[in-house]
Amino acid sequence: MSLAQEAGAVDSYQVSHSRVNPIRRVFMKRFIFFFALLVLSANQACTQVPEMRPAIQNPAFDRQLVDLLSFTIPLLGVDVLYKNLHQYQILDAREREEYEVSHIPGAQYIGYNYFDESLLKGLDKNSPTVVYCSVGYRSEKIAERLRKMGFTKVYNLYGSLFEWANKGYPLENAKGQKTQRIHTYNQSWSQWVNRKGLIKVW
């Protein structure tokens, strides 16, 4: 093969190789895209609605919770908590004014918008810990943070304070006194508190 022919062959290879690279890039982009979809699908499968979730008195409220929550945290029913109240570290993930109106007896305020890790000092990261808010959305998010901080047995109270109050379980105010008042976040969410005798505020 002459020098000119060799040069032509090299040029031909370089041209064909330069054409392959863009094809490979497209293939890799598609592969990464579909791999990401696969991972997302797997994550969704891990957080799908549990069939054996705790019972809620109002089926409409239960449907609202199913639409609202991501189910990334194990659930605990209010009946179980009531019967084993002193076996759990109970954390209130609402705002201070909500907590002061009423909360579950023995619950410790930790907040949501103003969540402060220093409020967790003294808690045992290996003891059963249940987090609640009004309905469970905020408590789920805070529970996720607790797990990242090393808490090993974290639960989200299913139905949270609304379901606790609807069952007639005790509430106490900032002074530790029994009360029938409950902060319902706003007027719209107050529809899910339906037990007679409760005084709704927002």
**Could you report the per-residue pLDDT of 125-173, keeping only the tens digit for each?**
999 999 999 999 999 999 999 999 999 999 999 999 999 999 999 999 9
**Could you report the per-residue pLDDT of 83-94, keeping only the tens digit for each?**
999 999 999 999
Domain borders along the chain are: 1-46, 59-201
pTM listed for this prediction: 0.78
CA distance 112 to 96: 9
Q: Could you tell me which residues are beta bridge partners of residue 200?
A: 182
Q: Which CATH superfamily is domain 59-201 in?
A: Rhodanese-like domain (3.40.250.10)
